[in-house]
Amino acid sequence: MTKEELCRKAQEMLKMAYIPYSHFPVGAALECEDGTVFTGCNIENAAYGPTVCAERTAVFKAVSEGHRRFKRIAIATAGEKMSGPCGVCRQVLHEFAPDLEIILINCKNETVEYTLPQLLPYSFGPADLA
């Protein structure tokens, strides 16, 4: 899958977001090492705590289908500012793909790319429990 195709899948998920409180849609497309792609959107809740980010929605869908090895994720927002994954999402992504490639996309279709180690230095993961 090309970078552009992955980004387009993330952008398509913006319209699926359930965002009655923040009005801030986020879409994600997670590419597994075997090429399978899982998408996600943010899903809010009136109690706020049960809200799930788009990135975790995509990861949980992938893991629930037996996928554990991820190559890259595209994260789209409807704003002009690039928005990276929250701390909780960074930790969840690290659990399965500590060297994950991350592509951020804004409403102007501009992109910026990072690796997870750039966004989560000095991370804590499964190896730290050994």
| Predicted pLDDT at 95 | 97
Q: Please give the Cα distance from 122 to 18 (Å, whole number).
A: 33
Digitized pLDDT (tens) for each residue of the chain, 130 residues in all:
999 999 999 999 999 999 999 999 999 999 999 999 999 999 999 999 999 999 999 999 999 999 999 999 999 999 999 999 999 999 999 999 999 999 999 999 999 999 999 999 999 999 899 8
Contact present, 85 and 122 (Cβ < 8 Å): no
Q: Is 4 a catalytic residue?
A: no
Contact present, 27 and 106 (Cβ < 8 Å): no
- The Cβ of residue 111 has, within 10 Å, a number of other Cβ atoms equal to 15
Out of 12, 33, 44, 55, the active site residue is 55
